[in-house]
Structure 1
Amino acid sequence: MSVELALTGARAGYGTIEVLHGLDLAVPAGKVTALLGVNGAGKSTTLRVLAGVLPLRSGSLTWQGRTITRMSALERARSGLMFVPDERAVFATLTVRENLQVVVEAIGQRDISPALEAFPRLRERLGQRAGTLSGGERRMLALARALLARPRVLLVDELSLGLSPKVAGELFTWLATVALGGTTVVLADQYTNDALGLADIVYVLHRGECSFVGDPAELHPAVSAEPV
């Protein structure tokens, strides 16, 4: 199994606070990697490091064997490493159509139909400002924007946060389809059956370090059902 992204000895944080304490992470190509753990475990910080939004204080990051530790977030995105954060993932003052057009124009295209085919509900909201959408619709729009960029790697932070089980299930189903198409996915979430059911490999983070790595089936059912 080839490695898409490899994080070695990663230390990162905010101000004087270090969040990641020498974390090692190997993301297999074309698979789904789940980063699990409670709030504050370091999941979002890890994704921000992978996306280039947060710089490493020490350690290294490679992408298909090439060191990208100093590559900017914009360069990573242009190369196909797309990040969908848990907040501020859409332009709230722009309409749904404008949010989608920003992406296709940036990559030299004009067709937003793949996004509308993936999320038909957005077709009904094209003229609506993104900031007035429901939480689930905003997540759909954020994922649709990433889809239009044709990602090689998709980093998704807290997919199910604040969503009803029904809407969260729809988004997990969509993400599974994307993964089956060959896109490498890294998903950060709390312990949920949906995340575990989707993942090929699981990392459980605790206070910025890895407390478990392996097959989702190795986690005890009682642990996987609820956050700890």
Structure 2
Amino acid sequence: MTTATAELALTGARAGYGTVEVLHGLDLAIPAGKVTALLGANGAGKSTTLRVLSGLIPLRAGTLTWRGEDITRLSTVDRARRGLMLVPDERAVFATLSVRDNLQIIAEASGHPDITPALDSFPRLRERLTQRAGSMSGGERRMLALARALLARPSVLMVDELSLGLSPKVAADLFGWLATVAASGTTVLLADQYTEQALAMADLVYVLHRGERSFVGTPAEFAGGTPAGASA
């Protein structure tokens, strides 16, 4: 696969925070309609990469293309309008608003005000519609964040640390939901600490080590040996 045929492609990406550079000339090519797992130890640059793709962190050097279009200078809002949606590792919800309001805001902004698809995907949220989002459990807030992303009808869904802080059962349920989203044709980019679960659903694997790419290949190729910087 070439960068020209990828859904998203980073070329020579350099980015960081303040005077600290985290990504050092990173190249990625994310295939359309597939699940790509982004692996690596803490501090490898996984979250920074997702923030660069979504526009939260600007590139210091390099380019980003979406379906062949150079979007390096597009704002986060304009990237979201193209369907690039990030669910960060923080609880990405409006804590003071009700569950219904959290969902309705995104649904109306996307031009499709019906929140039923989100409630069908996460039935527990149907029972919490009037509850303030900040008073829910961590797993429920994670469900709400994913439901909000779903209502935005993403072309690329980027999820950072899906299972962070969640019980194994809740994490397994969310991985199952993400697999369903991927099966519908949505491009998924997943950065997560649970390598085994990420690999189980991935079509392509990248491993980052200190802001550089140390491996790219299929899960089967990854299983043949653990590259530097990969977490077990």
Query: After superposition, what is the alpha-carbon deviation per residue over 1:165-203, rounded to whole angstroms, capped at 9, x for unaligned?
Result: 111111111111111101000011124211000110000
| Counterpart in the other structure of 1:135 | 138
Deviation of 1:221 after TM superposition, in Å, equals 7.4
For structure 1, list consecutive stretches of 5 or more residues without a partner in the other structure: none
Structure 2: stretches of 5+ with no match in the other structure:
none
Task: Read off the aligned partner of 1:227 and give its amino acid letter.
Answer: S
Name whichever of 143-152 and 182-191 sits farther off.
182-191
Give the corresponding residue for 2:101: 98
1:64 to partner: Cα distance: 0.6
Checking the alignment, whether the CA contact within 8 Å between 1:114 and 1:148 is kept in structure 2 is yes
In structure 2, the partner of 1:202 is: 205
Counting only pairs closer than 5 Å after superposition, residues 105-184 of structure 1 correspond to structure 2 as: 105-184=108-187
Contact kept, 8 Å, 2:91 with 2:142, in 1: the verdict is: no
Distance across 1 between alignment mates of 2:216 and 2:226: 14
Percent of residue pairs identical: 75
Alignment of 1:28-39 (within 5 A): 28-39=31-42
- Asked whether the equivalents of residues 37 and 191 of structure 1 are also in contact (C-alpha less than 8 Å), the reply is no
**Residue identity opposite 2:58 in structure 1:** P
Q: Over aligned residue pairs, what C-alpha RMSD do you find?
A: 1.6
Distance 1:41 1:191 in 2: 15
Correspondence 1:5 to 2:25: no
Deviation string 1:106-142 (CA, Å, 9 cap, x unpaired) is: 1223210000000001011111111111111111100
Q: Hey, which bits of structure 1, 4+ residues long, moved more than 6 A? A: none
Q: 1:83 maps to what in 2?
A: 86
Q: Aligned match of 2:48 in 33, 42, 45?
A: 45
TM-score under structure 1 normalisation? 0.96
Per-residue deviation, 1:218: 1.7
- Does 2:197 align with 1:216? no
Asked whether the equivalents of residues 202 and 216 of structure 1 are also in contact (C-alpha less than 8 Å), the reply is yes
Task: State the secondary structure of the residue aligned to 1:182.
Answer: coil
Do the aligned partners of 1:97 and 1:127 also contact (CA within 8 Å) in 2? yes
Aligned to 2:231: 227
* Per-residue deviation, 1:219: 2.2
Matched, 1:192 2:191: no
Q: Determine if contact 1:90/1:130 at 8 Å carries over to the other structure.
A: yes
Shift of 1:42: 0.2
**81-90 or 40-49, larger mean C-alpha shift:** 81-90
Alignment partners' CA distance in 2, 1:15 and 1:194: 34
Matched residue SS, 2:86: strand
1:144-178 Cα offsets, whole Å, 9 max, x none, are: 00000111110110001111111111111111111
State the secondary structure of the residue aligned to 2:38. strand
